[in-house]
Amino acid sequence: MQSAVPNKPVGTVRETQRLATKSTILDVAIEHFAARGFEGSSLPDIAKDCGSRVSLILYHFGSKLGLWEACIASVYDAVERKIDAAAPQIAAASGIERLQIAIATYIRATAAYPAFHRLLFQEAMQDSDRLSWLVEHHQRAISDRMVALIEEAKMAKLLPADASSMHLKFVLSGMFALPIAFAPEYRLLAREEPIDDTFIDRHIALCLRLIVG
């Protein structure tokens, strides 16, 4: 008996498979690069963990650097989509409420993708062409958003007016990110999970108390 549902064209099936394979490679590579950095990660190890072949990785991404750049773009795009989704709510608010929503949005967006901080930390510890590319193509835009919020907080007298906004950005970024980025250490020291929703709610509440009282 012939199925009532028509078969997908061969080209569509192949494209679906191609995208699924590419997505799997990206997911595995993100974890490798976030945990071991660019130099410490190898294409054979990534291929092994995603059940693929090095030749197939090169087919999709061209090189190890091409794969790394795709990983960075994938994670940053995901974080920025979450931040952008809250833009109307942030724009509709004002004063302290606006800052509270913006801070909570940033923490939730980056907590949803812990590799975001780890990928950045891996590259930010030394000057390199990769770091320059990451900053110019991705990190600067997020950094500029944070600096703009810090300027608002300084105007509202929530942060020291005479402090460098960029310096404050790094101080606050550490506060927002470290329990999430250093989750394995946090688990060992605190014996609790720093990634689940309950912890993130508490983390946001504590950060807001420290900033806005």
Q: Which fold has domain 69-212?
A: Tetracycline Repressor; domain 2 (1.10.357)
Give mean pLDDT, residues 4-32. Answer: 81
Nearest to 87 by CA among 71, 101, 73: 101
Q: What angle (nearest 5°) sits at the alpha carbon of residue 41, between those of residues 53 and 62?
A: 50
What pTM does this model have?
A: 0.89
Q: For 143-201, how does the pLDDT look when each residue is reduced to its tens digit (9 = 90+)?
A: 999 999 999 999 989 999 999 999 999 999 999 999 999 999 999 999 999 989 999 99
What pLDDT band is residue 1 in, cutting at 50, 70 and 90?
Answer: very low
Where in the chain are the domains? 69-212
- d(C-alpha 72, C-alpha 46), whole Å: 16
Q: Are 176 and 208 in contact (CB under 8 A)?
A: no
Q: For 116-126, how does the pLDDT look when each residue is reduced to its tens digit (9 = 90+)?
A: 999 999 999 99
Question: Which pair of tokens denotes residue 167?
Answer: 């310096």
- d(C-alpha 26, C-alpha 12), whole Å: 21
Is residue 213 over pLDDT 80? no
